[in-house]
Amino acid sequence: MEEMKAKQEISSLREELNKYNHAYYVLDRPSVSDAIYDQKMQRLTELEAQFPQFITSDSPTQRVGGEPLDAFVKVQHQVPMLSLSNAFSENDLRDFDRRVKDGLDVEHVTYVCELKIDGLAVSLRYDNGIFTQGATRGDGTTGEDITSNLRTIKSIPLRINETETIEVRGEAFMPQQSFLVLNEAKEENGEEPFANPRNAAAGSLRQLDPKIAAKRNLDIFLYAVGQWESGTLTAHSERLHHLSALGFKTNPEWKKCSSIDEVIEYVNEWVTKRADLPYEIDGIVIKVDQLAYQEQLGTTAKSPRWAIAYKFPAVEAVTKLYDIELSVGRTGVVTPTALLEPVKVAGTTVQRASLHNEDLIHEKDIRVNDTVVIKKAGDIIPEVVRVVTDERDGTEQQYRMPSQCPACSSELVRLEEEVALRCINPNCPAQVKEGLIHFVSRNAMNIDGLGEKVIEQLFEANLVKSIADIYQLKRDELLPLERMGEKSVNNLLQAIEASKSNSLEKLLFGLGIRFVGSKAAKTLAMHFETMDHLAASSYDDLVAVNEIGDKMADSIVRYFGEEKVQQLVHELRNLNLNMTYLGPKPNVEELVDSPFYEKTIVLTGKMERLTRSEAKERIESLGGKITGSVSKKTSLVIAGEDAGSKLDKANDLGITIWSEQELIDTLKEIDEE
């Protein structure tokens, strides 16, 4: 290639990649797919290697990560947090192995392979065993102090058994289930959803208010030591074991490999197994195990010579978008969905992909009849990545969101600070139907046999138009419906009748008050005890309750101020629905003597005589706290039949273990006192 053409292409690639980096690292809004970014970066790297005279300090190949945000105090890393060079094929890995052996002048090297977690790289500093500072990688030399946000991640120990200063490094991330729950809540509230778990984690840790980060259910895996005053270990694998021994959470899937062939075997294994993980990975990190070898190999300006990241190929597919469908959620948010010609993506057939909101459609210039590239965001949610504009033939049509609700024809509005359009008609049939489905769901009134399809049948037959209608259904109305035999109808009517006796928190959650989830509903029910007391509470009364914030309090006051809500509550009371909290209400004075008071307890295995929820409710009513994982902070493990790894870990840590019978005997003694 001629020098002038090379200079022009390098300049163009540099400008594009810097723009992509800014969108990804600073704004937390990726503007292109990983596949396009990797392709352009690889091309720039090749050109700069061929024409080194055109390398400049602002080239993305010469930097490690994103710029630190001005909103946070800047932190200077004592040891730079370097990024890794990438491998995209088996040949790239073998070239890496050859370079390592040539650099060391040896014939055999041991490697450690680790899953490459797709999150946010952070450092944690401990002085005299106390967690004192947490920071992002930033540009590798200067990061952002996010100590307050990192402290909200429960898997980060606030104290470790180490008297010397130690700085450890890892990847903070958002588990896939947390990502799905967060985005569902965002869309329901008319907010723009996160593109993937990585950006959700980064966005959470860059919040100025740590309360927001605390609600996001983030996690972390530690994988390296940055600074350690007198570390005596000789291998990276030994460091991983030591990190775990100190109480840090490390990923259990790492493996020590005695050859590059073993490395490649490990990589190929995880290309297929990655879909089974509850968190997202985007590759495999390969490191030379011996620390002396690492020191001998050294680093370049941006990456270590003793490590490399194998990047998984992006799983994308091309298909036709033939229409855009609108749906109305229970809170009135109108969500556009792309209807696609069926296409295989990451092992499943995709025919629909959420387009989230009108702004995204315009930003990506998505049109009906476009040829589009599809991928699964976080390997979970089908997403339109981009339009293949070269395939346009003139038949494509620009899409405009309607001004009226597709379900009830009411005027759509965009509320302040929301990206979504919303139907605010409380009688909108789509909202009513979604509200009914929510009301009968398991975490709400839990009416067995009254699932989504049955609700749709009842709704279409005009038998159910409000919550109160459910409790006025008659046998003769139900029998003519599809798949409604005598036995099914009897069971359904019994389940509806039984639900009238549910404790208040079930009814509160079922009503679908905005911002009130199942946990908040229980908190409110326990505090106010009756529906009347809650309905009559003021904003000040509500915010005085632990865990009830401004938005929720305002929403509750507005909800019970509506005349139609007052009428509904009156109607449900006349239909004999319980309006009182029936669960145990803790008495702090009595709880102090409880064997569970302020204890952290884990339930594991099958319970034969108590259900898991029954055991949890009794223990919590006696001042105990139930958690899902065993750690040094666990006070007690209650093990049922077939208890597995949690029981093993409890034994290793010397934690007290009870059988189910011991729990039942203790509860019986308490009841008899």
Query: Residue 153: which pLDDT band, with cuts at 50, 70 and 90?
Result: confident
Determine the straight-line distance between the first and last CA of the chain, rounded to whole angstroms: 89
Average pLDDT over residues 21-48: 73
- Specify the CATH number for the domain of residue 16: 1.10.287.610
Whether residues 235 and 352 fall in one domain: no
Give the type of residue at 417: E
Give the type of residue at 350: V
Query: Phi and psi dihedrals of 504, rounded to 5?
Result: -55, -40
Could you list the residue range(s) of the whole structural domain that residue 115 is in?
A: 82-311
pLDDT the model gives residue 207: 81
pLDDT the model gives residue 471: 96
Average pLDDT over residues 169-173: 95
Whether residues 20 and 108 fall in one domain: no
Chain centroid to Cα 271, Å, comes to 22
For residue 374, the surrounding DSSP H or E stretch is strand 371-377
- CB-based contacts of 185, cutoff 8 Å, min separation 6: none
Residue 65 in this model has a pLDDT that exceeds 50: no
Distance (Å, whole) CA 636 – CA 403: 57
Give the type of residue at 633: K
The number of residues in the chain equals 673
Whether residues 139 and 262 fall in one domain: yes
Whether residues 616 and 559 fall in one domain: no
Whether residues 609 and 561 fall in one domain: no
Count CB-CB contacts under 10 A for residue 562. Answer: 11
133: its two tokens:
């500072």
Q: List pLDDT tens digits, range 545-575.
A: 766 878 889 999 999 998 889 999 999 999 9
Residue 25 in this model has a pLDDT that exceeds 50: no
- CB-based contacts of 663, cutoff 8 Å, min separation 6: 610, 615, 638
Residue 351 to residues 31, 383, 451, Cα–Cα distance (Å): 23, 11, 24
- Specify the CATH number for the domain of residue 661: 3.40.50.10190
pLDDT the model gives residue 217: 85
- From 627, 655, 517, select the one nearest 154 (Cα to Cα): 627
179: its two tokens:
């990502």
- CB-based contacts of 65, cutoff 8 Å, min separation 6: 25, 81, 83, 121, 137, 138, 139, 140
pLDDT the model gives residue 346: 65
| 580 within some domain | no
Residue 591 in this model has a pLDDT that exceeds 80: no
Residue 215 in this model has a pLDDT that exceeds 70: yes
- The strand pair at 412-413 and 397-398 is best described as unpaired
Query: Residue 377: which pLDDT band, with cuts at 50, 70 and 90?
Result: low
Distance (Å, whole) CA 458 – CA 484: 11
Distance (Å, whole) CA 445 – CA 391: 50
Contact 620, 653 (CB under 8 A): no
314: its two tokens:
């992006």
Residue 98 in this model has a pLDDT that exceeds 90: yes
For residue 291, the surrounding DSSP H or E stretch is helix 291-297
Whether 116 is catalytic: yes
pLDDT the model gives residue 247: 84
Distance (Å, whole) CA 391 – CA 44: 27
Distance (Å, whole) CA 541 – CA 533: 10
pLDDT the model gives residue 113: 97
Residue 314 DSSP label: P
Give the type of residue at 310: Y
pLDDT the model gives residue 585: 66
- Which of 510, 545, 574 finishes a domain? 574
Count CB-CB contacts under 10 A for residue 530. Answer: 14
Give the type of residue at 271: V
Whether residues 248 and 346 fall in one domain: no
- Specify the CATH number for the domain of residue 98: 3.30.470.30
Tally of structural domains, the chain: 5
Proportion of the chain above pLDDT 90, given as a percent = 43
- Name which of 99-103, 348-352, 492-496 the model is least confident about: 348-352
Count CB-CB contacts under 10 A for residue 323. Answer: 11
Whether residues 611 and 650 fall in one domain: yes
Residue 452 in this model has a pLDDT that exceeds 80: yes
| 207 within some domain | yes
Residue 95 in this model has a pLDDT that exceeds 70: yes
| 424 within some domain | no
- Which of 542, 574, 606 finishes a domain? 574
Q: How many helices (H) and strands (E) does the chain have?
A: 26, 24
Of these residues, 7, 19, 74, 116, which one is catalytic? 116
| 374 within some domain | yes
Whether residues 598 and 629 fall in one domain: yes
pLDDT the model gives residue 511: 94
Whether residues 48 and 97 fall in one domain: no
Query: Which residue do the tokens 């706290």 mark?
Result: 625
pLDDT the model gives residue 68: 46
Count CB-CB contacts under 10 A for residue 10. Answer: 21
Average pLDDT over residues 303-315: 88
β partners of residue 343? 350
Query: Please, what is the Cα angle at 548 between 544 and 551, to 5 degrees?
Result: 110
- Which of 520, 552, 574 finishes a domain? 574
Q: List pLDDT tens digits, range 506-519.
A: 999 999 998 888 87
- CB-based contacts of 268, cutoff 8 Å, min separation 6: none
pLDDT the model gives residue 631: 80
Query: Residue 484: which pLDDT band, with cuts at 50, 70 and 90?
Result: confident
Q: List pLDDT tens digits, range 386-425.
A: 999 999 999 999 999 999 999 999 999 987 767 888 898 8
Give the type of residue at 65: G
Q: List pLDDT tens digits, range 614-665.
A: 788 788 778 787 877 788 778 899 988 878 778 888 888 889 999 988 898 8
409: its two tokens:
């024809």
Residue 595 in this model has a pLDDT that exceeds 70: yes
- From 424, 412, 278, select the one nearest 336 (Cα to Cα): 412
pLDDT the model gives residue 62: 61
| 579 within some domain | no
Residue 104 in this model has a pLDDT that exceeds 70: yes
Instruction: Please report how the helices 452-460 and 429-439 are oriented relative to each other, as an axis angle in degrees rounded to 10.
Output: 140
Query: Residue 181: which pLDDT band, with cuts at 50, 70 and 90?
Result: confident
Query: Which residue do the tokens 């259990």 mark?
Result: 252
Query: Residue 26: which pLDDT band, with cuts at 50, 70 and 90?
Result: very low
Distance (Å, whole) CA 613 – CA 608: 13
Query: Which residue do the tokens 């104290």 mark?
Result: 159
**Strand 625-627's sheet: what is its strand order?**
625-627, 600-604, 636-639, 656-659
90: its two tokens:
């088996």
pLDDT the model gives residue 317: 87
Average pLDDT over residues 327-350: 87
Distance (Å, whole) CA 484 – CA 307: 63
Query: Phi and psi dihedrals of 43, rounded to 5?
Result: -65, -45
pLDDT the model gives residue 347: 61
Average pLDDT over residues 171-185: 87
Residue 540 to residues 504, 521, 543, 549, 634, Cα–Cα distance (Å): 22, 17, 5, 10, 36
Query: Residue 228: which pLDDT band, with cuts at 50, 70 and 90?
Result: confident
Q: For 651-673, b where at least 16 C-beta lie within 10 A, e where not — what string? A: eeeebebbebeebbebbeeeeee
pLDDT the model gives residue 288: 97
β partners of residue 275? none
Whether residues 171 and 252 fall in one domain: yes
Whether residues 42 and 107 fall in one domain: no
| 596 within some domain | yes
Residue 599 in this model has a pLDDT that exceeds 90: no
- Specify the CATH number for the domain of residue 405: 2.40.50.140
| 447 within some domain | yes
Whether residues 385 and 518 fall in one domain: no
Distance (Å, whole) CA 408 – CA 425: 8
3-state secondary structure 461-482: CCCCCCHHHHCCCCHHHHCCCC
Average pLDDT over residues 167-173: 95
Distance (Å, whole) CA 353 – CA 377: 10
Residue 268 in this model has a pLDDT that exceeds 80: yes
Q: What is the mean pLDDT of the chain?
A: 86
| 418 within some domain | no
Distance (Å, whole) CA 201 – CA 216: 8
